[in-house]
Amino acid sequence: MPKDISTSSDKNSIQAAEYVEKPESQLKEMWATLRQNKAAVVGLFIIGMLTLIAVTVWVSELIGVQILPYDPNYSDMSKSFIWPNAEHWFGTDQLGRDMFSRILDGTKISLFVGVAAVAISLSIGVLLGSIAGYRGGRTDAFIMRVMDVMLAIPSILLAIAFMAALGKGLDKAVIAIGLVSIPEYARIVRGSILSVKENDYVQAAKVIGNGDSRIIFKHILPNIISLIVVRATLGVSSAVLDTAALGFLGLGVQPPFAEWGDMLGRARGFIFTAPYTLIFPGIAITITVLAFNLFGDGLRDALDPKSRIK
Amino acid sequence: MNEVLMKVQDLSKHFTIETNFLGKPLSVLKAVDEVSFTIKKGEAFGLVGESGCGKTTLGKILVDLYSPTSGKIFFEGKELSALNKKQRRSYCKDIQMIFQDPYASLNPRMTIGDIIAEPIIINNLLPPSEVEERVIYLLNCVGLARHQRNRYPHEFSGGQRQRVGIARALAVEPKLIVCDEPVSALDVSIQAQVLNLLDDLKAEFGLTYLFIAHGLNVVKHISDRVGVMYLGKLMEIAPKRELYANPLNPYTQALLSAIPIINPEKKKERIILKGDVPSPINPPSGCRFCSRCFKELDRCKLNAPALREVSPDHWVACHLYD
């Protein structure tokens, strides 16, 4: 007999019998482990700041209040190529627009693109990977060969091909970037489902009468969620990079809207005369990507129960 | 006690190991090969054999985890493979399984209460308001306490986890439970507790067990009748007492002689078998056991002996008793 039964036979038996323990909070433990990792905390802090900037800029635009020092899209040719000074912290670009305002404004687009593209590739990739891994056989072979074909083509090239079919524009860039990274998620999910589905608890779920979709969503996916979350966090950073690359090629955001990659691309001719027009957008991209990578790494440790601190 | 609950007829399960590029099988593993037996209502039918002899595969076919290559399963007179998916589902609900490894058979992301509640919910056995009460009742039945309901499996010991696995199997009120070596992963001291629990639950819920084990001593404790398997074939079926007192098949004799005796003074003749278990991909022709048998006859190599009844309720597959 388990020892807990004997404790309920003492004078507190009624309370003990009625008392049901709360499930332990897995989130709390995760947070405790994450906090130990300084790099991850820094990453999380930067992500928080970026989100704050993006949301503030977006809201102020919606309600029509200008909180950026200058209108990011207002050009004044008489003020072009001003080196960074007290008035224009990051200088002005070739059209005389304030770089500082444009970079803050670009945060909104980069974060949106990162999260939206990951949402697209994550949902489709997890679904395809689950079906392939769980079903196996021909379904698996068909889905994974299609994924292999997509992986065989360099992702930026594939994204350009998608853009050629879909047309230019930010929304299309998001879809293109989302679509090209589907195989990464599908592969990861398929691989882990292959190993998890052999567990007895999945077979047990089948024996008690679960349907296939319930087994996948209730019994298999929760056990590989940490892998998916980590990959998604790292995926945001690569989506930000891909947007920048598309922007650099002039396929992403259309002028005059500010986007870091687009700013880099348009300023590349002035690298010697006005290097600050390249340096600051470059730093913004680097910081964002770094923050997501640091946070993703920390999250991987925090989600692994073996390395968790109690 | 004499009503037949399950009848298995010539059941086979072959796994294809290798295929050529056209999908034609090159080598086939016969995990279960034309096995026939019956399980009577209310009994515990023990199934023993070495590892790799197909016991677990057989158990998994019975709970519909694997589909058989050939053969028929009758449950309460209905042939399961003839039913469509939906009808089979309602029958299979009555056949549940307790898994071998309690560390692998519980979903680590679900509380034990949720694990036990799930079969009740998905089979719509009770209105949602009564599920919780039933879960607590089942927890108590297997010797766990109400307050442990919201704990996760990793907070329990092996024996306690196996109790959760038993409660989950009981939740749908099954008629037959396939126990797949339910105690082999547990400490010896815990083994007895779990075996006694299974025995008590059998009486309380009117259950029938197919009890799979790899040692005759565990089966001796709980079974009424015992079947001995070797390389996918049933070698001998007999009531427990009869089998232990009068083993007929040489393989059963060898298995029984391997059980350690507690009294060190008592000398016992030990039958040591020669060689290893042959590969089930390429089993010996004729009797599966002939390559290791110490009473081998000439015809053993030529044709396989059929399982026949040599004395009332004692079935054996061996040419010695033709």
Q: What is the pLDDT of residues A85-122, one digit of tens each?
A: 888 888 888 888 888 888 988 898 888 888 999 999 99
Residue B220 belongs to what H/E stretch? helix B216-222
Whether the per-residue pLDDT at A301 is higher than 80: the answer is no
Task: Considering only the beta carbons, identify the residue of A16, A207, A219 that sits closest to B107.
Answer: A219
Residue A304 scores a pLDDT above 70? no
How far does the CA of residue B233 sit from the closest CA of chain A (Å)? 25
As given in the structure block, the two tokens for residue B246 are 């009068």
A48-79 burial: b if 16+ Cβ within 10 Å, else e: eebeebbeebeeeeeeeeeebebebeebeeeb
* Nearest beta carbon to residue A209 from set B93, B106, B108: B93
User: How far is A308 from A30, CA to CA, in rounded Å?
Assistant: 7
Which two three-digit tokens encode residue B155?
């907070």
Q: Which of B188, B169, B189, B186 is nearest to B177 (CA)?
A: B169
Q: Please name the residues in contact with A204: beta carbons below 8 A apart, sequence gap of 6 or more.
A: B97, B99, B105, B106, B165, B168
Would an 8 Å CB–CB cutoff place A86 in contact with chain B? no
**CB proximity A206 to B under 8 Å:** yes
**B146/A21 Cβ within 8 A:** no
Q: Check CB contact of B65 with chain A, cutoff 8 Å.
A: yes
Q: Is B145 on the interface with A (CB under 8 A)?
A: yes
Distance from the A31 Cα atom to the nearest Cα atom in chain B, whole angstroms: 18
Report the residue from B97, B122, B165 with minimal CB separation from A210: B122
pLDDT for residue A277? 87
User: How far apart, in whole angstroms, are the C-alpha atoms of residue B136 and residue B132?
Assistant: 6
Name the average pLDDT for chain A: 83
A21 contact residues in B (CB cutoff 8 A):
147-151
Asked whether the beta carbons of residue A201 and residue B143 sit closer than 8 angstroms, the reply is no
- What's the average model confidence in pLDDT over A279-299? 89
C-alpha span between A187 and B40 (Å, rounded): 48
pLDDT tens digit sequence for B138-192: 999 999 998 888 888 888 888 999 999 999 999 998 999 999 988 888 888 888 8
* CATH code at B4-94+202-313: 3.40.50.300
Block residue for tokens 């007492």? B241
Residue of B nearest to A1 (CA): B143
The DSSP secondary structure of B12-60, one letter per residue, reads: EEEEEEEE-TTS-EEEEEEEEEEEEEEEETT-EEEEE--TTSSHHHHHH
A209 closest CB neighbour out of B89, B147, B154: B89
Give the model's pLDDT for residue A16.
45
pLDDT mean across residues, chain B: 87
- CB-based contact, B170 to chain A, within 8 Å: no
Q: Tell me the chain B residues in contact with residue A199 when contact means C-beta distances shorter than 8 Å.
A: 104-105
Cβ–Cβ < 8 Å for B230, B280: no
Using a CB-CB cut-off of 8 Å, the residues of chain B touching A198 are: none
pTM of the model: 0.80
Strands, E assignment, B122-201 = 176-180
- Paired residues of B38 in beta bridges: B7
State the number of CA atoms in the 13 A half-sphere of B16 facing the CB.
Answer: 8
Q: How far apart are CA B72 and CA B10, in angstroms?
A: 7
pLDDT reading at B261 higher than 70: yes
CB contact under 8 A, A210 and B97: no
Q: Is the separation of the CB atoms in A208 and B119 below 8 Å?
A: yes
The pLDDT-based confidence of A141 (bands split at 50, 70, 90) is very high
What's the CA gap between B199 and B219, in Å, rounded? 12
Residues in chain A: 310
Give the minimum alpha-carbon distance from B148 to chain A in angstroms, rounded to a whole number.
Answer: 7
Res. A2: pLDDT tops 50: no
Domains in chain A and their CATH numbers? 29-63+89-307 (1.10.3720.10)
Across the range A184-198, mean pLDDT stands at 91
Q: Residue ranges per domain, chain B? A: 4-94+202-313
> Is residue B86 less than 8 Å (CB to CB) from chain A?
no
**B36 and A CB contact within 8 Å:** no
Chain A residues touching B96 at Cβ < 8 A: 207-208
Q: Which of A196, A202, A130, A223 is nearest to B118 (CA)?
A: A202
In degrees and rounded to multiples of 5, residue B209 shows phi and psi of -115, 140
Interface with chain A: mutation pick from B98, B107, B154, highest number of A CBs within 10 Å: B107
Q: What gap in Å lies between CA A242 and CA B282, rounded to an integer?
A: 55
CB contact under 8 A, B149 and A21: yes
pLDDT beyond 90 at B116: yes
Asked if the C-beta of B56 comes within 8 angstroms of chain A's C-beta atoms, the answer is: no
Split at pLDDT 50, 70, 90, the class of A309 is low
* Residue A198 sits at the chain B interface (C-beta within 8 Å): no
Residue A295's nearest CA partner among A237, A246, A247 is: A237
Q: Measured between CA atoms, how close is B98 to chain A, in angstroms?
A: 8
In the numeric block, the tokens 């005796």 are attached to: B261
**Counts of helices then strands in chain B (DSSP H, E):** 9, 12
Are the C-beta atoms of B237 and B226 separated by less than 8 Å? yes
User: Which carries the bigger pLDDT value, residue B280 or residue A42?
Assistant: A42
**Above 50 in pLDDT, residue B108?**
yes
Tell me how close the Cα of B288 comes to any Cα of chain A, in angstroms: 30
What's the half-sphere exposure (Cβ side, CA atoms, 13 Å) at B141?
Answer: 24
Question: Two tokens at B37?
Answer: 């037996």
Convert the pLDDT of each residue in A163-178 to its tens digit. Answer: 888 888 888 888 999 9
Dist CA B226 CA B49 (whole Å): 11
- Which H helix or E strand runs over B78? strand B78-79
* Percent of chain B residues past pLDDT 90, beyond the cut: 32
Question: What DSSP string describes A238-291?
Answer: HHHHHHHHHHHTT-SSPTTS--HHHHHHHHGGGTTT-THHHHHHHHHHHHHHHH
Read off the pLDDT of each residue in A176-182 and give the average, rounded to a whole number. 92
Distances (CA, A) of A224 to A205, A218, B253: 17, 11, 48
pLDDT at residue A4 is higher than 60? no
Is pLDDT above 60 for A261?
Answer: yes
- Hey, what's the torsion of the CAs at A143, A149, A152, A153, to 10 degrees? -120
Question: Any idea what DSSP says for residue B275?
Answer: S
How far apart, in whole angstroms, are the C-alpha atoms of residue A60 and residue B148? 51
Establish if B7 touches chain A: CB-CB under 8 angstroms.
no
* Interchain proximity B105–A204, CB inside 8 Å: yes
Residue A286 CA to residue A295 CA, distance in Å, equals: 14
Q: Provide the shortest C-alpha distance from residue B107 to chain A (in Å).
A: 5
Rounded to the nearest angstrom, the minimum Cα separation between A214 and chain B is 10
Q: Does A23 touch chain B (CB under 8 A)?
A: yes
> What gap in Å lies between CA A94 and CA B261, rounded to an integer?
95
**Which residues neighbour A225 within 8 Å (Cβ) at sequence distance 6 or greater?**
A303
With beta carbons under 8 A apart, name residues in chain B contacting A5: 143, 145
CB B38 within 8 A of CB B7: yes
Question: pLDDT: is A146 or A236 the higher one?
Answer: A146
A23 — pLDDT class (breaks 50, 70, 90): low
The CA distance from B179 to the nearest CA of chain A, in Å, is 12
Q: For the residues of B79-137, what is the DSSP string, one character each?
A: EGGGS-HHHHHHHHTTEEEE-S-TTTSS-TTS-HHHHHHHHHHHTT-S-HHHHHHHHHH
Burial string for B49-62 (b: 16+ CB within 10 Å, else e) reads: beebbbbbbbbbbb
Over its C-alpha atoms, chain A yields an Rg (Å, rounded) of 25
Which residue among A19, A205, A208 sits closest to B147, beta carbon to beta carbon? Answer: A19
User: Cα separation of A292 and B4, whole Å?
Assistant: 64
Amino acid letter, residue B269 = E
**Residues in A touching B111 (Cβ below 8 Å):** 23
Distance CA B66, CA B60 (A): 6
Q: Is A4 on the interface with B (CB under 8 A)?
A: yes
CA–CA separation, B177 vs B322, rounded Å?
35
Q: What residues pair up with B37 in beta bridges, in sequence order?
A: B8
Question: How high is the pLDDT of residue A168?
Answer: 81
CB contact under 8 A, A209 and B123: yes
Residue whose structure tokens are 């939906």: B86
Type and span of the H or E element at B315: strand B314-316
